[in-house]
Structure 1
Amino acid sequence: MTPLRILATGFSAFPRAPVNPTEVLMGLLEKAAPDLGPAVELRTLVLPVEYARAPQALGEIGAAFAADVAVHFGLADTARGFRLESTARNRSSTLAVDAAGLLPAQARVCEGPATLRSTLPLPDIAAALDAEGLPVQLSSNAGAYLCNHVFYLSRSGTISRFGPKISGFVHVPFLADQLPALDPARAKRVFTLSRDELLKGAVVILRVCADHARRLGGDAS
């Protein structure tokens, strides 16, 4: 049986986030080696929060690991749990610099339509998270920073050697144990998850995506 290949990505630190829960999450997934069902191969990747290097990293992983499904995780300190993003927009902020201190080369992410939809099974994911007692939100605005940028690129099919048939984006909040690294005033405002909750929710999401890919039959694998 040909294995179903699932890629989970997170991000490293960036100017407004001296710590990034999604980088921690990638390590937790690697250590846990979760069971996602028969013949599933999971790979994780931490992306740099840089407009030039993040697409390169996706191309490199695509050459080594042809993912059928890609679930991208990113930080949003306004998230009140697992925020499932439905729509990637073909725009990038020309005001907020990346971790290298640079702005994107252009306001558009790349050639393509104004918006692209997530192909993750969002209603199924939301129901599964809710059934586990985990906080979940649905969102149609992934912002205009690297999260949206990577989301759009993943859906666009414009990165050489990187073309998952199913892909989308999930925002998460800070971890509770990361609050001491934040400004105290900001720390008081943010919602948090524990490490156990973050890992549990991510595994739920990945399992639902694996089940969805199997239901699609050979088209996803």
Structure 2
Amino acid sequence: MKNVLVTGFDPFGGESVNPALEAVKCLAHLKTETYAVEVREMPTVFGKALDCLYAAIEQVKPDLVICVGQAGGRPQMTVERVAINVNDARIPDNEGNQPIDTPVVPGGPVGYWSTLPIKAIVQELNRQGVPAAVSHTAGTFVCNHVFYGLMHYIAESKAAIRGGFIHIPYLPEQAARQPGQPSMALETIVKGLKIAIDVAVELEEDIVTMGGQIS
């Protein structure tokens, strides 16, 4: 039985809801024959989010960690390939912090690859009717901050943990307030996250298939 930690952020940027947190809460206490899920809420705050993540890892002792965040404007679930060692906040976080061009971890590597089977997850999501794609940027806000912090923790601790990050679109009620923005129903997001967990638990090695971009 594998322990799976799934995290989602609280609302930010003036929104009253964050689809990441709403979807993650639907996975609380999910248990199958092969894994059990624990979920945690993350503050959308630089630094503090990593403190919460590390405390959750120490408590849950997961074999797999999937962090989930909102990417308003994206039409699909996007499985992130790489985290980069930079904070460059376009807007302040939920405590007014707005780091510009600072490292997530001073002296840390430029980036870390996800250790999720990202292309296999995307392939299965699309096969089951959940729009998905590989993403090559997790941004430079708190999502990337947490993604990089997670992978740095795994690398430095040499823990037998695999981890990564998935971005999800707005909920329909959010998109309704911002005409022209794509959205995804909560039930579809939850279905997609369950699929992602299933694939990540089953496969340690990714498949080889197209998932790149020209620009």
What range describes the TM-score normalised by the shorter chain of this pair? 0.7 to 0.9
Q: Aligned residue for 1:59?
A: 54
Cα RMSD after superposing both structures: 2.4
Q: Gaps (5+ residues) in structure 1?
A: 217-221
The percent identity for this pair of structures is 24
- Per-residue deviation, 1:106: 6.6
Q: Does the Cα contact within 8 Å between 1:30 and 1:44 map onto a contact in 2?
A: yes
Distance change (3 Å), C-alpha of 1:194 and 1:89:
same
Aligned residue runs from structure 1 range 12-31, under 5 A: 12-30=10-28
Q: Aligned residue for 1:142?
A: 138
Q: Aligned residue for 1:212?
A: 203
Q: Gaps (5+ residues) in structure 2?
A: 207-215
Distance (whole Å) between structure 2 residues aligned to residue 115 and residue 93 of structure 1: 15
Distance (whole Å) between structure 1 residues aligned to residue 91 and residue 156 of structure 2: 27
Number of corresponding residues: 205
Distance (whole Å) between structure 2 residues aligned to residue 130 and residue 70 of structure 1: 22
Q: Does the Cα contact within 8 Å between 1:66 and 1:162 map onto a contact in 2?
A: no
Q: Aligned residue for 1:219?
A: none
Distance change (3 Å), C-alpha of 1:94 and 1:83:
closer
Point out the structure with the larger helix share: 1
TM-score (norm 1): 0.84
Q: Does the Cα contact within 8 Å between 2:104 and 2:148 map onto a contact in 1?
A: yes
Runs of 4 or more consecutive aligned structure 1 residues displaced over 3 Å after TM superposition: 158-164, 177-180
Distance change (3 Å), C-alpha of 1:140 and 1:62:
same
Distance (whole Å) between structure 2 residues aligned to residue 137 and residue 103 of structure 1: 29
Distance change (3 Å), C-alpha of 1:49 and 1:162:
farther
- The amino acid of 1:54's aligned partner reads A
Distance (whole Å) between structure 1 residues aligned to residue 51 and residue 159 of structure 2: 13
- Per-residue deviation, 1:158: 7.1
Distance (whole Å) between structure 2 residues aligned to residue 94 and residue 30 of structure 1: 30
Q: Does the Cα contact within 8 Å between 1:59 and 1:162 map onto a contact in 2?
A: no
Instruction: Find 1:103's aligned residue among 89, 94, 98.
Output: 98
Q: Which stretch shifts more, 54-63 or 151-160?
A: 151-160
Q: Aligned residue for 1:48?
A: 43
TM-score (norm 2): 0.86
